[in-house]
Structure 1
């Protein structure tokens, strides 16, 4: 029998030389694993190994928010827990992140403006920054009162020097529904400011406050119904209130009219009172 090992000098064992072709054949005859597959590129951050823009965005945002350069201290969860439409909570987030394009911030970014940095809403009395637009402007302060949130505006605990700190303190101390009403109010104030700036159309403070009250209550009722979180509600309890208003002059000639539907979880008496208040 052929011995592949030969005794060398100093009693060392050395392998015998074999032709290169035999070695190559033996390597090629080595059986491969049956489950072997063709190599491909995978995205190891996903369970299905497939790349997605959604997860890559989350990964990038996780890195940006986690870095010291972009991190802003604050309880951000309180903002997202507010009982309000997502667009209003997003406005709170932009406000606390310093993303709103106020005239003061645009000038800081060296953006040329057609007008100076004074308030673009109505008052035109102070520099337009976040504190002035949402808390100090005459239109804003009257809107807080008209929407029934004057106690929040004048609370001594909410008089911080910048808007971000005020929002965080309000979100931490008030109920989520009150924070939701505040978010709706700030969104309406910002919308009214933009409407005046771009369309030269401005609403009175009473109109803004009334819209905040109606819009939030309508959203809250629909949200509760959709989430099935209201217990013990039957079809009898769902009241759809219709309102019709007709305005005539002193001679009886028609001047203007309006109709409106409201669907909310209220009693018939409350529905009639709400309709009367809206008509007034």
Structure 2
């Protein structure tokens, strides 16, 4: 199991790797485990108060946790294993052994967020929804990849390999193409999210830009998606026919490019972006 944990360590924060280690060593202090060690505490799950709290329930089944897996893009990874895996350790081991390092890292980070959400409720009486937990894990994953300057790819032989993340936003587009960069911003402690976009020609000269403020604190990926949607709509309205749209969110680009249909509340926005892109054949995405 140590090798399995090391497998996901390079593409997930140390705190997520540490949590997997505690789970696999049977030392995560769930209420069931505390009771087995003669600690006087309630046995029911603190989030739902329906069943005894143990790892499988908390991280897979409790209070819509499946939605968090779906938002993180791991629903299709989890579903086939619900019947074949007998406990959380088997689930972790199977995913780490059979899936990519990227998937293993995302799983580790999602479990950390779910466990943190549980602890926040137990000790501080604050909690977020399963959807928010998934979005938080997705945002943390994106930040981790950007900070560490690497992404995980699969070569034609099916082998996993790390490649350096190259920031190509300053490179000009192909001849006759425009380039549009999109981004999201968060306005201090206010309950608002900013989105913006900027068009340049193939020589890097500024053409036009726009921005918007949305009431409500969106997740980083949601903010990027809103900015992307607004930029594509603007390009269509202005009659642009050859545009490369860039975002620094690998997760957003993957979600738009994927043929899989999601089932989270984030999915309609992605579907809308896909529909807009389909209207103009020479609109492209780049991260």
Q: Does TM, normalized by the shorter one, top 0.5?
A: yes
Residues 130 and 246 of structure 1: is their aligned pair in 2 closer, same or farther, counting only changes over 3 Å?
Answer: closer
Q: How high is the TM-score relative to the length of structure 2? A: 0.57
1:22-171 counterparts in 2 under 5 A? Answer: 74=1, 76-82=2-8, 83-113=11-41, 116-121=42-47, 123-156=48-81, 159-171=84-96
Q: Does 1:230 align with 2:164?
A: yes
Matched residue SS, 2:185: strand
Unaligned runs of 5+ in 1: 1-73, 248-253
Map of 1:271 onto structure 2: 247
Matched residue SS, 1:125: coil
Residues 158 and 256 of structure 1: is their aligned pair in 2 closer, same or farther, counting only changes over 3 Å?
Answer: same
4+ residue stretches of structure 1 with deviation over 6 A?
259-262
Residues 158 and 185 of structure 1: is their aligned pair in 2 closer, same or farther, counting only changes over 3 Å?
Answer: farther
Q: Does 1:180 align with 2:105?
A: yes
Number of aligned residue pairs: 191
Residues 272 and 232 of structure 1: is their aligned pair in 2 closer, same or farther, counting only changes over 3 Å?
Answer: closer
Asked if the contact 1:240/1:261 (under 8 Å) is kept, the reply is no
Structure number with greater Rg is 1
Matched residue SS, 1:81: helix
Matched residue SS, 1:170: helix
Distance 2:114 2:35 in 1: 21
Asked if the contact 1:158/1:166 (under 8 Å) is kept, the reply is no
**Displacement after TM superposition at 1:260 (Å):** 8.9
**Displacement after TM superposition at 1:261 (Å):** 8.0
Residues 206 and 90 of structure 1: is their aligned pair in 2 closer, same or farther, counting only changes over 3 Å?
Answer: same
**Displacement after TM superposition at 1:135 (Å):** 1.4
Q: Deviations over 1:225-271 (max 9, x none)?
A: 69x9526545626x783425749xxxxxx996659989x9xx97242
Residues 158 and 167 of structure 1: is their aligned pair in 2 closer, same or farther, counting only changes over 3 Å?
Answer: farther
**Displacement after TM superposition at 1:200 (Å):** 0.9
**Displacement after TM superposition at 1:163 (Å):** 1.2
Distance 2:43 2:93 in 1: 26
Matched residue SS, 2:133: helix
Q: Deviations over 1:67-124 (max 9, x none)?
A: xxxxxxx3x21211211111101100110001110000000000111xx201112x21
Asked if the contact 1:104/1:127 (under 8 Å) is kept, the reply is yes
Unaligned runs of 5+ in 2: 152-161, 172-180, 194-212, 225-242, 254-265, 270-287
Distance 1:145 1:105 in 2: 28
Asked if the contact 1:158/1:170 (under 8 Å) is kept, the reply is no
Q: How high is the TM-score relative to the length of structure 1? A: 0.58
